[in-house]
Structure 1
Amino acid sequence: MAQSFDTEMYRIPLVIEASTYGYAIVWVVIAAILSAALVRRRVNKLDLIRVLKTRE
Structure 2
Amino acid sequence: MKKIITYYRSAREELSKVIFPTKEQIRNASVSVLIVVSVITLFLALVDLILSASVSGILR
Specify whether residues 50 and 17 from structure 1 end up closer, same or farther in structure 2 by C-alpha distance, changes over 3 A only. Answer: closer
SS at match of 2:19: coil
4+ long deviations beyond 4 Å: none
TM-score (ref. length: structure 2): 0.54
- List gaps (5 residues or longer) in structure 2: 1-13
Sequence identity percentage: 10
TM-score by length of 1: 0.57
Q: How many residues align?
A: 45
Larger Rg: 2
Q: What does 1:1-56 correspond to in 2, within 5 Å?
A: 11=17, 13-15=19-21, 16-47=25-56, 50=59
**Structure with greater proportional helix content:** 2
Query: Which residue type is aligned with residue 35 of structure 1?
Result: L
Q: What runs of 5+ residues in structure 1 fail to find an aligned partner? A: 1-7, 52-56
